[in-house]
């Protein structure tokens, strides 16, 4: 099976991890990485303005590169990860060249990342969603019926136990950490935790936390994201890793129920304290393979309990790691994906 994979390859990227897992399962893979064409990481205001001006030209170049790969590689499948910059005309070009079109969509809402994704949705032959509610949302919004739920997984090349270098402890060592993008709900939970347990060493990693207005969180906000091996270090050096989920946004019928961190944290040998819901408890046994909480009060109580019980916390962390390695790698997800692609072909 020849697959033209569209998505980023940077170390720690969920897309890149999945592409490599498909390759390990025997697929022939060619990749067009949007990050080679489209500049997205600039922080300076002036450069951001310039980026907006040249973005349409970058998108055209990116899509032209996809078409060139199709012509040369002649893939069976064009496998798009998220696809915020993939144009409908490129998908139609692929169809004319006998490609089946597959979208892997990892986020809560298909309407939250620009106009190209909603326009392209009806063109795909199959859509994988990492949200159980995504199946219903795609059908109600776009009358899409060829959908398949598959949860995120961990990348064994990235999310694994590392030899802990004590020189890294000052940067990453803490009682409690949260790794993820800011949102009002996340800020509210973390601010409540810090208010009730002001003595804990809390570290917050991720983007957009400059939007936080809670004064008691300012010392905890690290002001940067952690990816790749540094991500695994941050998990392992934290006594408690919080699995706080994104709230409902426009275009989605639900907030997150699980996320990529649901699998990254245990795979990286971290103890996980995850939001409890009807879906998250299906993946780990509560108080055996992961801790769970629901709301501010239980979060505070559980953090206090697990920080006071090292042996219990460490035992759960070991069991959670064993469960993740056994059931939740991207290699296991790739096997399921390939079976569905075979049906499509």
pLDDT in tens, 216-236: 999 999 999 999 999 999 999
241 located within any domain: yes
pLDDT, residue 165, reads 74
Determine contact, residues 227/12, Cβ cutoff 8 Å.
yes
| Distance between CA atoms of residues 259 and 278, nearest Å | 14
Q: Report CA dihedral (160, 293, 194, 188) to the nearest 10 degrees.
A: 100
pLDDT value of position 302? 98
Average pLDDT over residues 263-276: 98
DSSP string, 270-308: --EEEE--TTGGGTS-BTTTBEEE-HHHHHHHHHHHHHT
Tokens (6 digits) for 19: 């592409």
- Same-domain pairing of 252 and 235: yes
Q: Are residues 207 and 176 in the same domain?
A: yes
Given pLDDT bands bounded at 50, 70 and 90, which one contains residue 279?
very high
244, burial (CB in 10 Å: exposed 0-12, middle 13-18, buried 19+): buried
Q: Please give the model's pTM, rounded to 2 decimal places.
A: 0.94
Q: What is the pLDDT of residue 41?
A: 73
At 26-56, the pLDDT tens digits run 999 999 999 999 987 777 777 777 888 888 9
Location of structure tokens 């993740």? 324
Structural domain that includes position 318: 166-327
The mean per-residue pLDDT over the stretch 228-249 comes to 95
Residue 129 to residues 104, 142, 148, Cα–Cα distance (Å) = 6, 14, 6
Same domain, 37 and 96: yes
Average pLDDT in the chain? 95
Residues 72, 191 within the same domain: no
Residue 161 forms part of a structural domain:
no
Alpha-carbon distance of 246 to 185, in angstroms, equals 7
pLDDT at residue 89 above 80? yes
Asked if pLDDT for residue 344 goes beyond 90, the answer is yes
Is residue 158 situated within a structural domain?
no
195, 340: one domain: no
Same-domain pairing of 245 and 333: no
147 shares a domain with 6: yes
Our count of domains for the chain comes to: 2
CA 320 to CA 289: how far, in whole Å?
A: 4
* pLDDT tens track for 301-343: 999 999 999 999 999 999 999 999 999 999 999 999 999 999 9
Question: 213 and 149, same structural domain?
Answer: no
Q: What is the pLDDT of residues 161-216, one digit of tens each?
A: 998 877 888 899 999 999 999 999 999 999 999 999 999 999 999 999 999 999 99
Dist CA 254 CA 36 (whole Å):
33
Query: Are 126 and 186 part of one and the same domain?
Result: no
Note whether 266 and 335 are same-domain residues. Answer: no
| Residue, of 145 and 122, whose pLDDT is higher | 122
Spatial separation of the C-alpha atoms in residues 135 and 144, rounded to whole Å:
8
State the DSSP string of 44-93.
SHHHHHHHHHHHHHHHHHHHHHHHHHHHHH--SEEEEES-TT--HHHHHH
Do 120 and 18 lie in one domain? The reply is yes
**Whole-number Å distance between alpha carbons of 314 and 170:** 21
Q: What is the pLDDT of residue 227?
A: 95
Residues 271 and 205 in one domain: yes
Identify the CATH number of the domain in which residue 6 sits.
Answer: 3.40.50.2000
For tokens 């629901």, the residue is 294
Evaluate whether residue 103 is within a structural domain: yes
- With 0-12 CB in 10 A as exposed, 13-18 as middle and 19+ as buried, what is 53? exposed
Residue 314 is assigned to a structural domain of this protein: yes
pLDDT of residue 40: 77
């Amino acid at each position: 099976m020849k697959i033209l994979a569209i998505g980023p390859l940077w170390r720690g990227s969920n897309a890149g991890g999945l592409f490599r897992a498909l390759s390990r399962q025997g697929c022939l893979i060619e990749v067009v990485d949007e990050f080679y064409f489209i500049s997205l990481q600039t922080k300076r205001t002036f450069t951001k303005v310039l980026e907006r001006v040249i973005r349409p030209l970058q998108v055209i170049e990116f899509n032209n590169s996809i078409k060139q790969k199709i012509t040369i590689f002649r893939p069976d499948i064009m496998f798009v990860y998220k696809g915020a910059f993939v144009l409908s005309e490129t998908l139609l070009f692929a169809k004319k060249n006998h490609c089946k079109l597959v979208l892997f969509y990892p986020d809560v809402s298909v309407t939250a990342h620009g106009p190209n994704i909603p326009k392209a949705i009806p063109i795909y032959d199959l859509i994988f969603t990492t949200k159980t509610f995504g199946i219903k949302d795609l059908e109600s919004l776009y009358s899409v019926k060829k959908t398949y739920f598959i949860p995120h997984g961990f990348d064994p090349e990235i999310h694994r136990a590392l030899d802990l270098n004590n020189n890294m402890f000052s940067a990453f060592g803490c009682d409690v950490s949260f790794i993820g993008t800011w949102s009002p709900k996340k800020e509210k939970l973390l601010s409540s935790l810090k208010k009730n347990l002001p003595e804990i060493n809390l570290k917050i990693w991720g983007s957009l936390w400059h939007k936080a207005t809670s004064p008691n969180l300012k010392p905890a906000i690290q002001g940067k994201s952690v990816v790749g091996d540094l991500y695994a270090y941050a998990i392992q050096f934290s006594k408690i890793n919080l699995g706080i989920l994104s709230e409902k946004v426009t275009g989605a019928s639900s907030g997150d129920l699980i996320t990529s961190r649901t699998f990254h944290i245990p795979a990286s040998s971290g103890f996980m304290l995850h939001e409890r819901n009807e879906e998250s408890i299906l993946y780990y046994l509560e108080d055996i393979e992961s801790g769970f909480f629901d709301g501010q009060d239980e979060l505070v109580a559980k953090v206090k309990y697990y920080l006071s019980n090292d042996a219990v916390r460490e035992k759960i962390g070991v069991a959670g790691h064993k469960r993740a390695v056994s059931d939740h790698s991207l290699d296991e997800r790739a096997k399921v994906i390939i079976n569905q692609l075979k049906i499509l072909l």
